[in-house]
Structure 1
């Protein structure tokens, strides 16, 4: 595949994955107390701190991924965050049978997102990114 196509696909991938994190971060700001309540109900220790850290990771990491700034590091942080959040919030093996299918679907979707993030951690943002422009300077 030619370089322009690779760069376009990398940009599209960054946009689509960032689309998952940035609105989620803003949603946690708008509904902070609800997010804290949900986190507490799921057994998260120190839910206020956990939600605050989560929203910062989602916003900052999502924006960095979107623009291609420190992409490899942002992708690694987002991948780790997503993996931990998935294990806490989508533990399909420990929910009632009528909830297991939906939680397993969400678990598997998040694991696929982790895979996409690890690809960005391995290969970088592509040529249409802040990282690439900084290397040229």
Structure 2
């Protein structure tokens, strides 16, 4: 990876990670509200468990991406998680009107985010990563 590509990969990694860290932090600080949202937006059987797993993936994975530690693995797991949220939470094809439109937008956003995460999985973390594959 060229120095310029590695530099851009670093910023892409940080920008993606910030989204997840902030989201995970807010879920953690309002756990009960997050559980209520998961319960209302999906048919998952144990919303408390899935909320806790979501916080782990978002906050934990986001921190790993910021550090550049296990970036490829973290990004791969986060991409899978992000794609699953389309199926489990933003299933716009089962909705109508404004709800469908809003959830389709969220699904497309998640699809783009998963694409960025898969780029990290494939090409590595870029510059200033603690783990292997980083350019220092």
Do the structures match in fold with TM over 0.5? yes
Aligned residue in 1 for 2:93:
93
Q: How far off its partner does 1:134 sit?
A: 8.0
Gaps of 5+ in 1: none
Q: TM-score, normalised by structure 2?
A: 0.91
Asked if 1 retains the 8 angstrom alpha-carbon contact of 2:127 and 2:134, the reply is: no
Extract unaligned runs of 5+ from structure 2: none
Q: Name the counterpart of 1:126.
A: 126
Match of 1:66 in 2: 66
2:3 counterpart of 1:28: no
Aligned-residue offset at 1:86:
1.9
- Equivalent-residue separation in structure 1 for 2:134 and 2:102 (angstroms): 43
Number of residues of Structure 1 aligned to a counterpart in Structure 2: 135
- Relative contact order, CA 8 A, sep 6+: which one is greater? 2
> Match of 1:37?
36
> Any runs of at least 4 consecutive aligned residues in structure 1 with deviations exceeding 3 A, and if so which?
132-136
* Corresponding residue SS for 2:45: coil
